[in-house]
Amino acid sequence: MSKISYAYDNATYVTRSGVNLGINTAGSGSVYPQYTAFTAMKAYSATFTVNTAGTSATTAIFVISKVSNTTVTALATATVGQKVAGSVVNVELSATAGGVSLIQGDQITVVGGTDVVSVCSAALEVAVTPTSNITA
């Protein structure tokens, strides 16, 4: 397959996408499937929808990190606490405008805290960086 690069203002680059990470399993340190960047991208936010409320206001948390080669960088922490089922928590992954830069192969990981009951659905907001190569 060949690779192409569009003009910087092509809809491929200016449209943000939601990537579903699925639902974690209850248990301390639960993990979601990792998201791997398929080209240069930006990650903007993570959204969690509570499926099962946690038992603690302080341990029902999720840590979102970026993995680049062997370097792990914590980006944000989402505290869902004892919010009722259906509650939504959204966290920005960067304190500065423009999101978190990802290169091809970088991963976004989400790991749960020590609350053994909390279960949430998770999604990422991402976009392809303008002029990045994509499959034709």
pLDDT 10s digits, 17-58: 899 998 888 888 888 889 999 999 999 999 999 999 888 877
Q: Does 116 score more than 90 pLDDT?
A: no
**CATH code matching the domain that covers 3-135, chosen among 3.30.450.20, 1.10.486.10, 2.60.120.340, 3.40.50.300:** 2.60.120.340
Q: Does 128 score more than 80 pLDDT?
A: yes
**Domain ranges (residues) in the chain:** 3-135
Quickly state the pLDDT bin for 136 (edges 50, 70, 90).
Answer: low
φ/ψ (deg, to 5) at 19: -115, 120
pTM: 0.86
Q: Does 122 score more than 80 pLDDT?
A: yes
| pLDDT reported for residue 125 | 95
- With H, G, I as helix, E, B as strand and everything else as coil, classify residue 61: strand
Mean confidence (pLDDT) of the chain = 87
| pLDDT reported for residue 59 | 74
* Nearest-angstrom CA–CA distance, 37 and 95: 21
Q: Does 75 score more than 70 pLDDT?
A: yes
